[in-house]
């Protein structure tokens, strides 16, 4: 799939214009890490109306059949604006593609058009208290009851579960064998009987994390994604693809933007070299993100490249914060508008960067194994 | 000719060439082969006396020079020939050409009345071995470069080496007669061209250091198992590999679109990656890597030398940062998200 540079530029301008319009009319305030924390259903619907959610999916499933490169342009401009995109980000990036790859046509028809229309928020039920980086250790079970599944267990670190209609859940459908076998992916309706959602406050004192408790929740059989027992393969594939996106380098962009504005007038002497060193790194990393998107468009599975990009990118996001901290004459303050507050917001969010979506330890292990095989 | 073919040829040439080191400031013997194969003329227009082909081709050859640690003046001669060709000189039999004066700290003074040059330039690659020196000058109006014959009166050259044993001589001009190279590119453009070549060589050296390290940790046994089975070793190998890919990516971006920003970014990135790669490669090799007997030093000594040559990374970072502050935050975003050119 090829897209002309002109078409990409036009798309970029269109997305930037919408973001600017919302920002300047005060309908949202830019903040770092907004793809996880900034939640606004109206903004999500505004994007959906323009066809910018699920845009790579088939048209008859609500998509636009556009390229991953076009999707990159859209997601980049949303990150640039620190826009409130958490209501659809996970479904657009991860759940939709998983249903598209492995789901039945019936399942695709049931969910994908509504995701693309911005009507549904999905959250990710992967981690558990005893299964963090070791995802295969999940203990949540799903057992057959007629055509249905009965799910019992608990998930944790589930961002936006309290605002979501559905959860994607990794559960054990067979407890007899190896821990990587017997796992399956299911969709759970969070309004169903037996679902309890408890808030977890993060470092900001903010509520986006939750614990989800499933007490014999009944799930229709058709909501199992892909093959029974193939969950491990499906979930690692899904994680591999979602890793290499621009949110792994641009989570702290709004702070950098505010800092450059503040520094431009009278930059201290060391500013130019420090900023230049930072941007040099950012340019290389952004090209890696671009290369991942074009590899996906060629139908490749750039698993190692995506892991490298995320690992280096997360370190870069923190380097942005620390470089600014050393250059601007301000102390970080609790989250809010303004450079000092954005700096504090980003700093408090930063430990999560290299934990979510595959911790740096796990990514280095994946890269190390790939290297040893070469 | 495809890039892979060229890489294959270069690898064959260097692998079969015997000693690749410089001796007393002279190129390794394989330089003669490189000249016979026409490498210094690759990527220069045929109409100007070059061999034609893409700039990517010479960059692939320079990557191979770095990968093999071959002490030959290919980068310097190639850049020198470009400058000579731009000034309309015949470059068919130019010999070894040294380039000097392009660094921001370099100061030589051209005297237009006498047609001579004065000044002292330290760290000039291959100056003693050169047949001709192409000397960039700053602040001389339309005159950007001078041609100096190695045998001219008033030149004094002191032989010195860099950390990798490559000649980096000090040149003193005491009112030496010169030929003005009308039409030559400005010093900064020459510096960018050299920097791109240094990055190509650096990426080649990084790739070799990475390969040697991978081979070592997957074959060397300690505690009854290959080293790479130790999680800390595997993690360091992964960090090294990530830096290698980042450097190669930054190089590809600059090679495809050699504008001042991407060249500076690639130069800064290659230097930082060199630091991590050299450190991790040595740590993972253990004691054997610290010897002259083992091949690792052929690349790591070069990485340590090259990262600071032709203006240190701080200078390049400062240049890039100055552009970023001048253009403001929207200009920075345009720079970051500009559609890649080439490759």
pLDDT tens digits, residue range B114-148?
999 999 999 999 999 999 999 999 988 999 999 99
Partners of A256 on chain B (C-beta within 8 Å) are 329
Pair A296, A72: CB distance under 8 Å = no
Residues 6+ apart with CB under 8 A from B284: B213, B216, B217, B227, B233, B236, B237, B240
Mean pLDDT score across all residues of chain B: 96
CA B102 to chain CA centroid, nearest Å: 13
- Quick one: average pLDDT of A186-212? 97
Largest CA distance in chain A: 72
Confidence of residue A237 (pLDDT cuts 50, 70, 90): confident
Task: Work out the angle between the directed axes of helices A253-264 and A271-297 (0-180°, nearest 10).
Answer: 150
Partners of A288 on chain B (C-beta within 8 Å) are 245-246, 249
Question: Which residue from A162, A153, A84 is spatially nearest to A123, judged by alpha carbons?
Answer: A162
Mean pLDDT score across all residues of chain A: 95
Q: Residue B314: which of A273, A370, A372 has the nearest Cβ?
A: A273
CA-based nearest distance B33→chain A, Å: 32
Confidence of residue B343 (pLDDT cuts 50, 70, 90): low
pLDDT score of A142 more than 80 = yes
Q: What is the rounded distance in angstroms from the CA atom of residue B143 to the CA atom of residue B183?
A: 8
Question: Which residue from B136, B143, B131 is spatially nearest to B119, judged by alpha carbons?
Answer: B136
- Judged by DSSP in three states, B89 sits in coil
Question: Number of residue pairs across A and B with CB atoms under 8 Å?
Answer: 148
- Judged by DSSP in three states, B318 sits in helix
Percent of chain B surpassing pLDDT 90: 94
Catalytic residue among A128, A185, A242, A317: A242
**Which chain B residues in 309-328 lie under 8 Å from chain A, judged by CB atoms?**
313-314, 316-322, 324-325, 328
- Quick one: average pLDDT of B192-215? 98
Instruction: Quote the pLDDT of residue B149.
Output: 97
Determine which helix (DSSP H) or strand (DSSP E) holds A290, and give its type and residue range. helix A271-297
Pair B205, B66: CB distance under 8 Å = yes
Phi and psi based region of residue B165 (left: phi greater than 0; alpha: psi -120 to 50; beta: remaining): left
CA-based nearest distance A290→chain B, Å: 9
Q: What is the rounded distance in angstroms from the CA atom of residue A257 to the CA atom of residue A44?
A: 23
Comparing alpha-carbon positions, the chain B residue that sits nearest to A5 is: B339
Determine which helix (DSSP H) or strand (DSSP E) holds B29, and give its type and residue range. none
Question: Is the Cβ pair B242, A367 closer than 8 Å?
Answer: yes
Question: Which residue from A322, A313, A272, A312 is spatially nearest to B316, judged by alpha carbons?
Answer: A272
Confidence of residue A240 (pLDDT cuts 50, 70, 90): confident
pLDDT in tens, B31-47: 999 999 999 999 999 99
- Quick one: average pLDDT of B287-315? 97
Instruction: Quote the pLDDT of residue B212.
Output: 98
What Cα–Cα distance (Å) separates residue A41 from each residue in A89, A157, A168, A201, B243?
11, 21, 19, 22, 39
Comparing alpha-carbon positions, the chain A residue that sits nearest to B312 is: A273
Residues 6+ apart with CB under 8 A from B335: A279, A283, B261, B324, B327
Task: Work out the angle between the directed axes of helices B187-219 and B260-285 (0-180°, nearest 10).
Answer: 30
- Judged by DSSP in three states, B234 sits in helix
- Quick one: average pLDDT of A63-83? 97
Instruction: Quote the pLDDT of residue A11.
Output: 97
Q: Is A110 a catalytic residue?
A: no
Predicted complex ipTM: 0.96
Which candidate in B249, B263, B331, B342 is best for mutational testing of the A interface (most A CBs within 10 A)?
Answer: B249
**Which chain B residues in 153-172 lie under 8 Å from chain A, judged by CB atoms?**
none
Q: What is the rounded distance in angstroms from the CA atom of residue A208 to the CA atom of residue A201?
A: 7
Question: Which residue from A268, A261, A276, A253 is spatially nearest to A342, judged by alpha carbons?
Answer: A253
Partners of A260 on chain B (C-beta within 8 Å) are 324-325, 328-329, 332
Confidence of residue B186 (pLDDT cuts 50, 70, 90): very high
B225 touches chain A (CB under 8 A): no
- Quick one: average pLDDT of B170-177? 98
Q: What is the rounded distance in angstroms from the CA atom of residue A285 to the CA atom of residue A268?
A: 26
Question: Is the Cβ pair A276, B238 closer than 8 Å?
Answer: no
Instruction: Quote the pLDDT of residue A78.
Output: 98
Confidence of residue B5 (pLDDT cuts 50, 70, 90): confident
Pair B307, B275: CB distance under 8 Å = yes
Question: Is the Cβ pair B245, A288 closer than 8 Å?
Answer: yes
Which candidate in A256, A280, A315 is best for mutational testing of the B interface (most B CBs within 10 A)?
Answer: A280
**Which chain B residues in 56-95 lie under 8 Å from chain A, judged by CB atoms?**
none
Instruction: Quote the pLDDT of residue A226.
Output: 97
- Quick one: average pLDDT of B139-165? 96
pLDDT in tens, A253-285: 999 999 999 999 889 999 999 999 999 999 999
Instruction: Quote the pLDDT of residue A317.
Output: 98
- Judged by DSSP in three states, A40 sits in coil
pLDDT score of A1 more than 60 = no
* Structure letter (DSSP) for residue A95: I
pLDDT in tens, A152-194: 999 999 999 999 999 999 999 999 988 999 999 999 999 999 9
Pair B131, B159: CB distance under 8 Å = no
Partners of B246 on chain A (C-beta within 8 Å) are 281, 284-285, 288, 308, 312
Q: What is the rounded distance in angstroms from the CA atom of residue B90 to the CA atom of residue B323?
A: 37
- Quick one: average pLDDT of B165-177? 98
pLDDT score of A198 more than 90 = yes
Instruction: Quote the pLDDT of residue A239.
Output: 82
CA-based nearest distance A195→chain B, Å: 39
Which candidate in A277, A286, A291, A314 is best for mutational testing of the B interface (most B CBs within 10 A)?
Answer: A277
Which candidate in A273, A290, A316 is best for mutational testing of the B interface (most B CBs within 10 A)?
Answer: A273
pLDDT score of A2 more than 80 = no
pLDDT in tens, A210-219: 999 999 999 9
Q: What is the rounded distance in angstroms from the CA atom of residue A13 to the CA atom of residue A19?
A: 10
CA-based nearest distance A359→chain B, Å: 13
Q: Cα torsion for A36, A41, A47, A48, to the nearest 10°?
A: 110
The pTM of the full predicted model, rounded to 2 decimals, is 0.96
Q: What is the rounded distance in angstroms from the CA atom of residue B272 to the CA atom of residue B328?
A: 25
H helices of A67-211, in order, are 68-80, 89-90, 96-102, 105-116
**With b meaning 16 or more CB within 10 Å and e meaning fewer, what string describes B166-177?**
bbbbbbbbeebe
| Sheet containing B155-158, strands listed edge to edge, beginning at the edge strand earlier in sequence | B108-111, B116-125, B168-177, B155-158
- Judged by DSSP in three states, A82 sits in coil
Q: Residue B265: which of A272, A284, A361 has the nearest Cβ?
A: A284
Question: Is the Cβ pair A369, B218 closer than 8 Å?
Answer: no
Question: What count of other Cβ atoms lies within 10 Å of the Cβ of residue A222?
Answer: 14
Confidence of residue A329 (pLDDT cuts 50, 70, 90): confident
The tokens of B242 are what? Answer: 């990530």
- Backbone phi, psi, residue A85, to 5°: -120, 10
**With b meaning 16 or more CB within 10 Å and e meaning fewer, what string describes A4-29?**
eeeebeebbeebbebbeebeeeeebe
Q: What is the rounded distance in angstroms from the CA atom of residue B203 to the CA atom of residue B266?
A: 10
CA-based nearest distance B173→chain A, Å: 33
Q: What is the rounded distance in angstroms from the CA atom of residue A259 to the CA atom of residue A142?
A: 49
């Amino acid at each position: 799939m090829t897209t002309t540079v002109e078409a990409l530029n036009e798309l970029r301008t269109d997305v930037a214009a919408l973001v600017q319009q919302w920002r300047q009319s005060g309908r949202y305030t830019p903040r770092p890490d907004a793809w996880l924390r900034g939640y606004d259903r109206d903004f999500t619907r505004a994007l959906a109306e323009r066809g910018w959610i699920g845009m790579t999916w088939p048209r008859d499933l609500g998509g636009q059949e556009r390229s991953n490169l076009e999707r990159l342009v859209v997601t980049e401009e949303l990150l640039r604006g620190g826009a409130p995109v958490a209501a659809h980000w996970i479904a657009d990036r991860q759940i939709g593609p998983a249903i598209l790859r492995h789901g039945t046509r019936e399942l695709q028809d049931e969910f994908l058009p509504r995701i693309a229309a911005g009507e549904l928020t999905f959250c990710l039920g992967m981690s558990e208290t005893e299964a963090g980086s070791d995802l295969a250790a999940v203990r949540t079970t799903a057992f057959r009851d007629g055509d249905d599944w009965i799910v019992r267990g608990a998930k944790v670190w589930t961002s936006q579960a309290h605002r979501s209609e559905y959860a994607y859940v990794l559960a054990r459908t067979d407890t007899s064998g190896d821990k990587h076998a017997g796992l399956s992916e299911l969709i759970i309706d969070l309004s169903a009987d037996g679902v309890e959602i408890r808030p977890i406050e993060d470092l900001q004192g903010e509520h986006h994390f939750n614990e989800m408790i499933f007490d014999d929740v009944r799930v229709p059989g058709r909501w199992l994604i892909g093959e029974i027992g193939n969950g491990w393969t499906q979930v690692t594939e899904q994680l591999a693809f979602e890793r290499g996106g621009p949110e792994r380098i641009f989570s702290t962009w709004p702070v950098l933007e505010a800092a450059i504005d503040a520094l431009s007038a009278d930059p201290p002497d060391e500013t130019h070299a420090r900023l230049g060193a930072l941007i040099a790194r950012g340019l290389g990393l952004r090209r890696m993100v671009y290369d991942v998107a074009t590899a996906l468009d060629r139908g490749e599975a750039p698993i190692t490249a995506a892991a490298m990009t995320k690992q280096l990118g997360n370190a870069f996001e923190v380097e942005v914060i620390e470089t600014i901290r050393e250059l601007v004459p301000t102390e970080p303050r609790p989250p809010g508008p303004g450079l000092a507050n954005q700096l504090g917001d980003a700093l408090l969010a930063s430990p999560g960067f290299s934990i979510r979506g595959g911790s740096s330890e796990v990514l280095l292990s994946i890269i190390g194994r790939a290297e040893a095989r070469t | 000719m495809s890039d892979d073919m060229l890489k294959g040829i270069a690898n064959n040439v260097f692998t079969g060439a015997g000693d690749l080191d410089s001796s007393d400031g002279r190129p390794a013997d394989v330089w003669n082969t490189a000249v016979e194969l026409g490498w210094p003329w690759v990527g220069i227009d045929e109409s100007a006396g070059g061999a034609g082909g893409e700039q990517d081709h010479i960059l692939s050859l320079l990557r191979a020079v770095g990968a093999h640690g071959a002490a030959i003046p290919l980068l310097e001669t190639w850049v020198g020939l470009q400058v000579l060709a731009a000034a309309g000189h015949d470059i068919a039999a130019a010999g070894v050409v040294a380039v000097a004066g392009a660094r921001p700290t370099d100061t030589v003074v051209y005297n237009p009345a006498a047609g001579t040059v004065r000044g002292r330039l330290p760290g000039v690659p291959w100056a003693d071995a050169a047949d001709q020196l192409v000397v960039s000058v700053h602040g001389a109006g339309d005159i950007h470069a001078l041609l100096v014959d190695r045998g001219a009166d008033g030149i004094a050259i002191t032989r010195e080496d860099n950390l990798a044993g490559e000649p980096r001589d000090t040149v003193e001009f005491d009112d030496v007669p010169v030929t003005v190279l009308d039409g030559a590119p400005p010093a900064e453009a020459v510096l960018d061209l050299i920097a791109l070549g240094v990055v190509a060589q650096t990426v080649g050296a990084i790739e070799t250091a990475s390969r040697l390290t991978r081979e070592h940790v997957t074959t060397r046994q300690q505690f009854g198992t290959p080293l790479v089975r130790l999680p800390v070793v595997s993690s360091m190998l992964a960090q090294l590999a990530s830096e290698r890919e980042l450097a190669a990516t930054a190089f590809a971006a600059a090679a495809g679109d050699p504008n001042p920003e991407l060249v500076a970014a690639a130069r800064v990135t290659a230097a930082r990656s060199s630091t991590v790669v050299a450190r991790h490669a040595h740590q993972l090799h253990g004691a054997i890597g610290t010897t002259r007997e083992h091949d690792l030093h052929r690349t790591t000594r070069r990485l340590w030398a090259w990262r600071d040559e032709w203006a240190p990374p701080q200078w390049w970072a400062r240049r890039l940062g100055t552009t970023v502050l001048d253009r403001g935050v929207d200009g920075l975003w345009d720079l970051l998200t500009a559609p890649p050119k080439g490759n």
